[in-house]
Structure 1
């Protein structure tokens, strides 16, 4: 049974509590909220912080609620931002019930009383500071912020709070932002230059940003950077660390972008 089936079916019985428990309880109904704060499984000792199913629940809850909070940052939620959230749900192939819950969480994040810091602090604890998982969460929020093509001052301020709360440096954040901005060069119509054609200057520059290396880097350094990034975004490893199975396609897409960036660099060097 999936983490969602366990959660709804009552086989979970863990005491999530805190702001994440309150958000999920609000999205699923008051009785569930009471259960989250008060239920203990028979035999004691249900899943604790760091356990996979619990981490998956925390990731799902925090992702859509914070996405809604970012969307409302400039005072209004644009059609592009709503479409981005819906696109994430589509790629996750959520069941109708999960989709309704995700939408409710998105709306809860838009509420004026939403406590971003408390949500992020609990999410970090629940994830046991699993770096690659926290990074994937931050990438999803960056995609949400760029849904309308740019990040305004209010959204930038919130993203900076998320970065600080999750323990990422400015350089790490800038690299993740480069990954998100460069996606248009390595997915869809921009995924490949014409057959046999050299990569464009813009595409090549973005490829180096994705790999987080200088154009003067040696072939060995390029390969090392590529392997490091692929390890960070490996879908199976992320799921093992607590990424909900439904989000595996998002991780797969990011791996494909990294691979395309690597191929672009190697093609420019006559290595492909």
Structure 2
């Protein structure tokens, strides 16, 4: 059994980050042992390892930070519920985490639930690892918000933890609120589109007209328009030039190809695809309404 990756990881992790660093070093070392050591000698030995180790460490830090923070948010109400566990599992499913990577994410979630979990220190290490890139940290925050808000409104303790996370990463409370409101708009917008598609599909199966476009009683055209503006991060009074600029900015940040180039794990791509689809649909709605 390969163990040298773990030994080296723990050693260097402890040197640079004491106990928290040792834990992270163990995770990185385990990934190396299970993924890279098999073909280690055939593909360039240590030269190959050091050329790719930064990517491995970035992914390990990202997943450990994400799921430990999610565990800490879940525990903020005093007790981790079955729903909290299901939400974390659903996020792992969306990110297609399996095998050892999923086990590590589950352990990170359990670590975050501990009363003495060093949240700030963990986030500072994450921030350092991603070189304080604001776009990467915003994606991190957005995924946390999605997981925390997907089936329920944030409780006061949960919101307080999110504020603490945002502040540690360099985001103001106002910026966090903007991301929360944006996600809520996306969720309403996406749910309405899904209902409309299901209704259209049902009518097509029944042989009815494809041009059917009845108003959704749960979601008015005005509400859809307002949410489209929120998804793009602009006001409903903004002009066409501002709309186009906001669209390009949002797609640049959230397009799957862009995320890979930022060094984010490929497992985040499925989430980014949905986000990009929402942005595209919101923009198309505004194009129709604004006639441009």
TM range (shorter): 0.7 to 0.9
1:82 is aligned, of 62, 82, 85, to 85
Corresponding position: 1:227 with 2:248: yes
Q: Is contact 2:185–2:231 with CA below 8 Å preserved after alignment?
A: yes
Please state how far the C-alpha of 1:79 moved relative to its aligned partner: 2.8
Q: 2: distance between equivalents of 1:114 and 1:152?
A: 20
Contact 1:52 1:240 in 2 (8 A): no
Name the residue aligned to 2:262. 241
Query: 2 CA distance for matches of 1:197 and 1:75?
Result: 45
Say whether the 8 Å CA contact 1:23–1:108 is kept in structure 2.
no
Paired with 2:151 and 2:89, the residues of 1 have a C-alpha distance of 14
CA contact (8 A) 1:61 1:105 kept: yes
1:4 alignment partner in structure 2? none
Question: How far is the alpha carbon of 1:25 from its aligned partner?
Answer: 6.1
Aligned-partner Cα distance in 2 for 1:237–1:179: 20
- Any gaps of 5 or more consecutive residues in structure 2? 34-44, 201-211
Distance 2:137 2:250 in 1: 14
Displacement, 1:253? 1.4
Change beyond 3 A, Cα 1:87–1:20: farther
Higher relative contact order (CA 8 A, sep 6+): 1
Residue by residue over 1:79-123, the C-alpha shift from the partner in whole angstroms, topping out at 9 and shown as x without a partner, is: 332222111111121222221221111111101110110001110
Distance 1:197 1:221, change over 3 A: farther
- One of 123, 134, 142 as aligned partner of 2:126: 123
Deviation at 1:243, TM superposition (A): 1.0
In structure 2, distance between residues paired with 1:192 and 1:219: 29
Equivalence for 1:3: none
Deviation track 1:123-148 (CA, whole Å, cap 9, x = no partner) reads 00000011111011101111222144
- Please give the root-mean-square deviation of Cα atoms over the aligned residues, in Å: 3.3
Q: Please, what TM-score do these two structures have when normalized by structure 2?
A: 0.76
What is the distance in 1 between the residues matched to 2:156 and 2:257?
36
How far residue 189 of structure 1 moved from its aligned partner, in angstroms, is 5.0
- Is the contact made by 2:186 and 2:227 (CA closer than 8 Å) also made in structure 1? no
d(CA) in 1 for partners of 2:3, 2:189: 38
C-alpha separation in 2, matches of 1:168 and 1:261: 25
Count, aligned residues: 256
**1:109 aligns to 2:112 (yes or no):** yes
Seen in structure 2, the aligned counterparts of structure 1 residues 87 and 154 have a Cα distance that, compared at 3 Å, is: same
Tell me, in whole angstroms, the C-alpha distance in 1 between the residues paired with 2:13 and 2:191. Answer: 39
| 1:257 alignment partner in structure 2 | 278
The aligned counterpart of 1:208 is 229
Change beyond 3 A, Cα 1:32–1:196: closer
Give the conservation status (yes or no) of the 8 Å contact 2:68–2:112: yes
Judging by fraction of residues, say which structure has more helix: 2
Q: TM-score, normalised by structure 1?
A: 0.81
Structure 1 residue 267: Cα displacement? 2.4
